[in-house]
């Protein structure tokens, strides 16, 4: 998961911080130069007061020490203080003045050494963000999520004195992504144990991995000592009934089916009756894959929903579909309501943007990820794992 995305994200964060430091360097240097002149003038005045003659011969660092620790003076202390008070500030005491100048000089030298903090203007940030935005877009991060990332980066970077640009970007990115994937987890196994039979309806477009996901979940439920029945309510394709039967055989569970082209709502009804009669814990209803834009098929889905009254409706989508998945979830949700999402094929998704964005944008939780073709290639949604995989 995130193979390509992770690499690109790393590269672009590096580039962002490098560019920031390069471009802001000019400002960083300009400022101390101006200050250098001011400071020089001030020093001359100050040195004049203390009558240091060979100022030029003394190396700067040593001069600083000489100046502060043992000011060479031929004048009485009161006189120095008086003059200094008149010319610079109101602090009459020599020690205080020396200390203050020392502080100023310290700040000044730090600036010259280039370890000062940099500040990014809003304008510069907008330009710098372009590359990052492109990487996020290319890796299927939804607009809403990009906006959120941008806002938080802006808060953390713009007009804030920064000593480590890269670290700040990484921290901000991590925090906003963590925010985006922080939603209430669904404990499906717990829910199932609370009602019998527990009816789950599976929805999605063709080829998304619905049938495979049903088999994976059935396998998980069986391992948790739950009795299952599969319902072939995808009567649209003859092959899909067969496919479900094959899975059922491997898993050792029953399939309730009608003929090809039968009313899928009727099959669902039979499946539930069977479960009630046989004291089965979970009913897993497969439905025909349909495009979210197909009105007739969406109406058919409404009918199945009305009749079966599922306890939980799972949308199965391919994570590789990217942002289209968001529109699919929205449409299926409008038609029958969705309780959770399973994203399949995460193992072949190098980008992973859908895994990050889909719940945030649709408000529906991801419950599991499918990450392979075997029955146990089903992973519970785990925020920490995502962050770890992203490696930011």
Looking at the Cβ atoms of 43 and 211, the one nearer to ligand GDP is: 211
Q: Which stretch binds ligand GDP (CB under 6 A): 58-66, 90-98, 104-112, 135-143?
A: 135-143
DSSP 3-state of 130: helix
Helix 165-180 vs helix 353-362: crossing angle, to nearest 10: 50
Q: How far is the CB of 334 from ligand GDP (least distance, A)?
A: 12
317 sits near ligand GDP (criterion: CB under 6 A):
no
> What is residue 82's DSSP assignment?
H
Contact 137, 146 (CB under 8 A): yes
Burial 250-280, CB ≥16 within 10 A → b, else e: ebebbbbbbeeeeebbebbbbbbebbeeeeb
Answer for which of 49, 101, 135, 141 binds ligand GDP (CB under 6 A) is: 141
Q: How far is the CB of 211 from ligand GDP (least distance, A)?
A: 3
What whole-number distance in Å separates Cα of residue 7 and Cα of residue 2?
8
327 sits near ligand GDP (criterion: CB under 6 A):
yes
Looking at the Cβ atoms of 301 and 361, the one nearer to ligand GDP is: 361
Looking at the Cβ atoms of 159 and 206, the one nearer to ligand GDP is: 206
142 sits near ligand GDP (criterion: CB under 6 A):
yes
What whole-number distance in Å separates Cα of residue 109 and Cα of residue 107?
6
Q: Which stretch binds ligand GDP (CB under 6 A): 37-45, 95-103, 277-285, 341-349?
A: 341-349
Nearest to 165 by CA among 355, 26, 344, 14: 14
Instruction: Compute how many residues bind ligand GDP; rule: CB under 6 A.
Output: 27
Looking at the Cβ atoms of 212 and 333, the one nearer to ligand GDP is: 212
Q: How far is the CB of 133 from ligand GDP (least distance, A)?
A: 9
Mask 157-196, x = binds ligand GDP (CB under 6 A)?
A: ----------------------------------------
Pairing of strands 366-370, 378-380: antiparallel
Looking at the Cβ atoms of 264 and 289, the one nearer to ligand GDP is: 289
Tally DSSP H helices, then E strands, for the chain.
Answer: 15, 8
Interaction residues for ligand GDP, span 195-224 (CB under 6 A): 204, 206-212
What is the rounded end-to-end Cα distance, in angstroms, of the chain? 14
CB atoms within 10 A of CB 75: 13
| 11 Cβ contact list (under 8 Å, min separation 6) | 135
Q: Which stretch binds ligand GDP (CB under 6 A): 37-45, 223-231, 332-340, 342-350?
A: 342-350
Looking at the Cβ atoms of 232 and 361, the one nearer to ligand GDP is: 361
Q: Which stretch binds ligand GDP (CB under 6 A): 11-19, 120-128, 266-274, 367-375?
A: 367-375
Looking at the Cβ atoms of 209 and 264, the one nearer to ligand GDP is: 209
143 sits near ligand GDP (criterion: CB under 6 A):
yes
137 sits near ligand GDP (criterion: CB under 6 A):
yes
What whole-number distance in Å separates Cα of residue 343 and Cα of residue 364?
12
| 176 Cβ contact list (under 8 Å, min separation 6) | 148, 149, 152, 153
What whole-number distance in Å separates Cα of residue 289 and Cα of residue 297?
9
Looking at the Cβ atoms of 165 and 320, the one nearer to ligand GDP is: 320
121 sits near ligand GDP (criterion: CB under 6 A):
no
DSSP 3-state of 295: helix
What whole-number distance in Å separates Cα of residue 247 and Cα of residue 215?
6
264 sits near ligand GDP (criterion: CB under 6 A):
no
Q: How far is the CB of 370 from ligand GDP (least distance, A)?
A: 3
Looking at the Cβ atoms of 121 and 206, the one nearer to ligand GDP is: 206
| 272 Cβ contact list (under 8 Å, min separation 6) | 197, 199, 231, 283, 308
149 sits near ligand GDP (criterion: CB under 6 A):
no
289 sits near ligand GDP (criterion: CB under 6 A):
yes
Nearest to 83 by CA among 52, 43, 48, 41: 48
Nearest to 1 by CA among 338, 370, 259: 370
Residues near ligand GDP (CB under 6 A): 137, 141-144, 204, 206-212, 289, 323, 326-327, 344-345, 347-348, 361, 370-373, 377
């Amino acid at each position: 998961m995130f193979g390509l995305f992770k690499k690109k994200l790393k590269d672009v964060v590096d580039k962002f911080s490098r560019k920031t430091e390069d471009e802001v360097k000019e400002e960083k240097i300009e400022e101390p130069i101006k200050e250098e002149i001011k400071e020089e003038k001030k020093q001359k005045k100050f040195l004049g007061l203390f009558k240091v003659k060979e100022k030029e011969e003394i190396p700067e660092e040593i001069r600083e020490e000489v100046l502060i620790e043992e000011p060479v003076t031929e004048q009485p202390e009161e006189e120095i203080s008086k003059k200094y008070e008149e010319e610079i500030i109101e602090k009459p005491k020599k020690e205080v003045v020396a200390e203050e100048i020392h502080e100023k000089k310290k700040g000044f030298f730090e600036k010259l050494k280039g370890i000062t903090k940099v500040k990014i203007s809003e304008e510069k940030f907008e330009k710098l963000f372009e590359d990052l935005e492109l990487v996020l877009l290319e890796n299927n991060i939804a607009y809403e999520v990009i906006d959120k990332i941008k806002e938080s980066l802006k808060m953390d970077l713009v007009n804030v004195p920064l000593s480590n640009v890269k670290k700040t970007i990484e921290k901000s990115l991590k925090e906003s992504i963590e925010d985006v994937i922080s939603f209430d987890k669904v404990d499906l196994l717990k829910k199932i144990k609370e009602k019998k039979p527990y009816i789950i309806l599976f929805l999605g477009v063709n080829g998304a991995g619905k049938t495979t996901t049903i088999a994976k979940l059935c396998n998980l439920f069986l391992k948790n000592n739950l009795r299952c029945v599969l319902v072939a309510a995808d009567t649209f394709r003859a092959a899909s009934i067969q496919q479900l039967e094959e899975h059922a055989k491997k898993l050792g569970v029953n399939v309730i089916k009608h003929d090809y082209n039968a009313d899928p709502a009727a099959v669902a009804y039979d499946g539930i009756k069977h479960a009630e009669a046989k004291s089965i814990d979970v009913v897993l209803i497969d439905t025909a894959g349909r495009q979210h834009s197909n009105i007739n098929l969406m109406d058919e889905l409404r009918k199945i929903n009305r009749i079966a009254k599922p306890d939980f409706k799972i949308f199965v989508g391919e994570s590789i579909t990217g942002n289209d998945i968001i529109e699919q979830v929205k449409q299926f949700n409008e038609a029958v309501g969705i309780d959770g999402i399973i994203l399949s094929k995460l193992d072949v998704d190098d980008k992973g943007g859908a895994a990050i964005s889909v719940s945030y944008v649709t408000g529906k939780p991801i419950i599991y990820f499918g990450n392979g073709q075997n029955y146990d290639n089903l992973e519970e949604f785990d925020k920490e794992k995502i962050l770890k995989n992203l490696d930011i």
